[in-house]
Amino acid sequence: MKISTITNWAYGVTVLLTALSGTAFILSDHTVQLERQALEAHLAMNDLSMELEIGAELRTDEARLYVMRGDQSHLEAFEEVNNREHELEDKARHAEELGATEEELSHLKSMASTIDALEEIELRALEHYAQGDSTTARMLLFGEDHYALHTKLINRVKQFTRIVNVRTTHDLEQAKLENELLGFIARMMLGLTAAVFLGVLYFVLKRRVSQPLTQMTGIVNRLADQDYEVEVPLDDRRDEIGELTAAIHIFRQNGLERERLDAERRRDLKIKDLFLQMMYRLQACQTLDELSDIVSSFTPQIFPHLAGGLYIANESRNTLQLAGSWQFDQSPPESFKPDDCWCLRRGRTHTNTIEDSDVTCSHLGEKTETALCIPLTAQNDTIGLLTFENLSDDIEEINEARIYLELIAENISLSVANLQLRERLTRQVARDGLTGLYNRRSLDEVLGDYAREAETETLTCLMIDIDHFKIFNDEFGHDAGDTVMQSFAGILNETVDGAGTCYRFGGEEFTVLLPKTSQGDAHALAEKIRTRTETSTFSHRGALLGPVTVSIGIATTPEGGTVSTLRTRADIALITAKGTGRNKTVLETDPDVTEKVVFNRSDDDKNLALT
């Protein structure tokens, strides 16, 4: 074969191989375009689903803020977000223009239907609120139906994202396989063309095509597995590899942002769940101690980065007492004056920061860097204070949690007000309105409790009657009689102190129960009451009421009998004291008492017959 023939054949083969190689490169470039289109469609689908979900959340938040605060700006923001959401829903229903499949289009339409259902609930809530029914509005916005639809929307977004990821991964894998196959063919053909071209093309293919594609393939695989920690190197090249790198970098950034949003959403749902649990338990509290325990238990779970304290105002509203605290390195002050806190002075939430030029509450510690004080108010009355201190270095954390903290304070205020109201009503039922002592109903309940328990411990009863009480009413009027009883009740309380409990039995009669007190000690206490009453001066409207004396009867159980007869035995001793001269103390063991006594008693008089 001639050299020219060989040359021509070599030339022809070279031209053919070069043409085929060029064709292979063109097809390879086409697969890169397919990858880019798949990624762009994937990003468009994911962005659309995220915008729908975020828009629904923003619309819900604005509706809730408007219902809770009544600020018109939140209603305007709600309408603006709602209009934007309608545009996104229309875009979702025509997502085939973005390259969505029938399955993806069906999921997008389902998401739009769920968002419409949420919108219907929110619009109904705003209607109720506009009509003045804020309770129904809040129940709709924070109710189970709204929560179920919101959860359903989140699940559908996740499912849609998963479907899009699967499809995109498949398209990228298919394009990658085609790209690698065509690249291999091109390299083989170029290798057969010439050694010189082989060296040049090997360098180009290896350095400019194969290596970046291999690196991007590993990155894409890790991103497909939702491993967004992988680093995507930025390449300034303006070819398809550079565009692919930029697209993957955007995909990774979107994935990181989506993970951050998912984490925030999960945290928000957890906060809402704990918040509802705490509210349900606050509604079931029966004492302030129970309320304090619940607040101290749940608040650190909701806000682990915040230390806090709950203060309750006393009845005179001149001191705030610490009811509970959590997560403090050093215990907060047990009490302080309302003027020590600027939030109580202003009647609104007050932020304390060392970087702020505003005044700082004096009840806070010197090392406090960031603190938030929230007043507890109910029915235009300040009943307490919630204070929080930031444990982390991020000052913005306490500001971000402020709306939830104020919601907690509002619910605690209502619970504390209800408990205080119930305590006042209970106290009014259990105590005598004139003297402030426990009434006969309370006495009967206590004696009933003692009777049901084992009667092994000593219990002494003093029955006391103001002598000749009718004289004060007849000579000075019933107001003077009331003054005598009030003054004597004060003497009785001061004298008995913590040794026992004082009761107003009825009319001018009083009862004292002394647990674990012997008859001798009870007699000494009774004499002290009688002597102090006799030596005290009673006056009404500037007029002296004359000397006041009392007669006292004493009985003890179990020595003298059972608890069920204790008051009767003390009453018999009292009757004996009044029948034998008054202004004296008589024990049930005295000879005059141990005689058989027959008596009938009414509320106004006593008829005695001693035999």
- Residue 238 contacts residue 267 (beta carbons within 8 Å): no
- Which amino acid is it at 460? T
Choosing from 240, 508, 509, 588, the catalytic residue is 508
Name residues whose C-beta falls within 8 Å of residue 128's C-beta, 6 or more positions apart in sequence: 134, 136, 137, 140
CA distances from 424 to 417, 418, 427 (A): 11, 10, 5
Q: Is 229 a catalytic residue?
A: no
How far is C-alpha 309 from the geometric centre of its chain's CA atoms?
Answer: 14
* 3-class DSSP string for 213-257: HHHHHHHHHHHHCCCCCCCCCCCCCCCHHHHHHHHHHHHHHHHHH
- Residue 466 contacts residue 484 (beta carbons within 8 Å): yes
Strand pairing of 501-506 and 509-515? Answer: antiparallel
Helix axes 3-69, 72-93, angle to 10 degrees: 150
243-259 burial: b if 16+ Cβ within 10 Å, else e: bbbbbbbebbebbeebe
- Residue 167 contacts residue 41 (beta carbons within 8 Å): no
Output phi, psi for 596, to 5 deg.
-70, 130
Strand pairing of 585-587 and 501-506? Answer: unpaired
- Residue 67 contacts residue 137 (beta carbons within 8 Å): yes
The terminus-to-terminus CA distance of the chain in angstroms comes to 163
Query: Hey, which residues are catalytic here?
Result: 508
